Amino acid sequence: MKHLFLPFLSLFVTFGALAQMDAALLKDIESIEDQVVEWRRHFHQNPELSNREFNTAKKIEAHLRSLGMEVQTGIAKTGVVGILKGNDKGKVVALRADIDALPVTERNDLPFKSEIKTDFLNTETGVMHACGHDTHIAILMGVAEVLSKHKDKLNGTVKFIFQPAEEGPPPGEEGGAKLMIKEGVLKNPDVDAIFGLHINSGTPVNTIKYKPEGTMAAVERFVVNVTGKQTHGSAPWSGVDPILISAKIIDGFQTIISREAELTEAPAVITVGKITSGVRFNIIPESAQLIGTVRTLDPKMRDMIIKRMTDMAQDIAKAYGGSATVEWQNNTVVTYNDPSLTAQMLPTLEQIAGKENVSLMKATTGGEDFSYFQEVVPGFYFFLGGMSKGNTTPYPHHTPDFMIDEDGMLLGVKAMSQLTIDYLNKT
């Protein structure tokens, strides 16, 4: 099948890797590629936001039931879990895919582009799979079908976890991996290890990147509420300007990174992504609000930054005659690849992709709530190439122009299938 917007791309892996992979398994994986692409396009065209993935969940459920699996639904609101039992009790391995989309209006000419619109936090917006979760769903559905045909090769049990709200639940709601764990997704049967992948628009197709230990950042959301004193814009001396105070706070936050955080130990980021204040050009308002994120890879640095930001916002506001409060919400902890599990499974990835196509990566300041699963059981999370050959300017994730090369998905099905078999049969 020739995929849209894709030039000729090599799908070859090394002869040695092909020789080591079970021939019947490989045949079934390759024969399902067109179906995986079709699923991906369906989900891409019909995206749903976090905790609202109702139709997505129904399609996943129907597929898993068609494979004869035990299926659990409604976990963490819209999560779906399929349980596949092999030929003996053995260990239990979980495979996870995230299923939610983002409030982003798609901007490309794909025939299966999203036209979905919604109201998100009182703002009209499009809905788009702008982070590749549509490919994750399709890949894991493909793995479920392949392994269900080869369950005689499984010395243990596989849990297929389709997780909602990875991007974070709406304000005031619980969701995501945290809620799935709270509701027992890693129990009954108890999971021994978990694998996950993330397709990446900046990583070449048919390659894999990984990192032992800390791989992705802990993510905090903060809200700074600044209070001043409203007055006429022509007489600022008769009030307290919360916009000026906000500017000083933002400037001060950046000095924590540039002058206080020991960046040679680990990177860190403070970003203010939203500022709200005022209603008219000639009125100094009474209040302002800053909303942003902190990304850290070191627990001690995380604690230092949170304390310094809280103290600094309050002290700066007081110095200019106002006041400020800071609210914190943790969205993820550090995505931590268990070193022993990573070393154990690395030969499988090298076998499937070819050793030359598997490489170490540096830690990233992106966040991933797969990290909560890794707090409970050993986990291995890696990145799958989704960038077309010759593309030197890939669009970033979470943007309207984000695009994935569909030829990258077949390697994902191969990798997750073989990781499962090798883990259950070699431990």
Q: State the DSSP string of 135-184.
A: HHHHHHHHHHHHHHHTGGG-SEEEEEEEES-TT-PPTT---HHHHHHHTT
pLDDT band for position 76 (50/70/90)? Answer: very high
Question: What pLDDT, on a 0 to 100 scale, did the predictor assign at position 121?
Answer: 87
Q: Which domain does 153 fall in, by range?
A: 15-211+361-426
Task: Write down the pLDDT at residue 7.
Answer: 37
Beta bridge partners of 198: 383
| CATH number, residue 367 | 3.40.630.10
Regarding whether 324 and 385 lie in a shared domain, the answer is no
Summarize the confidence of residues 42-56 as an average pLDDT. 98
**Residue 318: pLDDT band with limits 50, 70, 90:** very high
Catalytic residue among 33, 98, 134, 166: 166
- What is the tens place of the pLDDT at every residue in 336-353? 999 999 999 999 999 999
The CATH number of the domain holding residue 245 is 3.30.70.360
User: Which residue type sits at 121?
Assistant: L
Please tell me whether residues 185 and 232 are part of one structural domain: no
> DSSP labels for 286-322?
SEEEEEEEEEES-HHHHHHHHHHHHHHHHHHHHHTT-
Tell whether 249 and 176 lie within a shared domain: no
User: Structural domain tally of the chain?
Assistant: 2
Task: Give yes or no for residue 198 having a pLDDT over 90.
Answer: yes
Residues 222/326, Cβ–Cβ less than 8 Å:
yes
Checking if the pLDDT of 235 tops 50, the result is yes
Residues 80, 205, single domain; the answer is: yes
Domain boundary among 291, 315, 331: 331
402 lies in some domain: yes
Asked if pLDDT for residue 14 goes beyond 50, the answer is no
Q: Is the pLDDT of residue 9 over 90?
A: no
> Across residues 95-121, what is the average pLDDT?
97
Please give the Cα distance from 364 to 133 (Å, whole number): 18
Q: β-strand 213-227 against 323-332: which pairing, if any?
A: antiparallel
Q: How far apart are CA 383 and CA 128, in angstroms?
A: 21
Decide if pLDDT at 376 tops 60. yes
Q: What is the pLDDT of residue 10?
A: 37
Q: Please tell me the predicted confidence (pLDDT) of residue 17.
A: 40
Record the tokens describing residue 314, joined without a space: 């309050």
User: What is the percent of the chain with per-residue pLDDT over 70, rounded to a whole number?
Assistant: 95
For CA atoms 64, 103, 370, 348, the dihedral sign is positive
Question: Is 355 domain-assigned?
Answer: no
Q: What is the mean pLDDT of residues 119-137?
A: 96
Residue whose C-alpha is closest to residue 244's, from 222, 271, 275, 269: 275
- Looking at the domain assignment, is residue 337 inside a domain? no
What is the structure's pLDDT at 8?
33
pLDDT in tens, 138-179: 999 999 999 999 999 999 999 999 999 999 999 899 999 999
Residue 88 vs residue 100, higher pLDDT: 100
Catalytic residue (one of 98, 100, 298, 405): 100
In a domain, 39, yes or no: yes
pTM of the entire predicted model: 0.90
Distance CA(184)–CA(190), nearest Å, equals 9
Give me the chain's average pLDDT, please: 94
Q: What is the mean pLDDT of residues 276-300?
A: 97
Q: Which two tokens stand for residue 330?
A: 């943790």
pLDDT, residue 427, reads: 63
Dihedral (CA of 133, 364, 289, 400) sign? negative
* Residues 302 and 296 sit within 8 Å (Cβ to Cβ): yes
pLDDT, mean of residues 361-382: 97
**In a shared domain, residues 69 and 142:** yes
Domain contains 10: no
Q: Residue 426's pLDDT is what?
A: 84
Residue 326 φ/ψ, nearest 5 degrees: -125, 125
Respond yes or no: is residue 100 known to be catalytic: yes
Q: Tell me: pLDDT of 11 over 60.
A: no
Catalytic residue at 124? no
Calpha distance 311→324 (Å, rounded): 10
Task: Average the pLDDT over 386-414 and give the result.
Answer: 96
Q: Residues near 74 by Cβ (< 8 Å), separated by ≥ 6? A: none
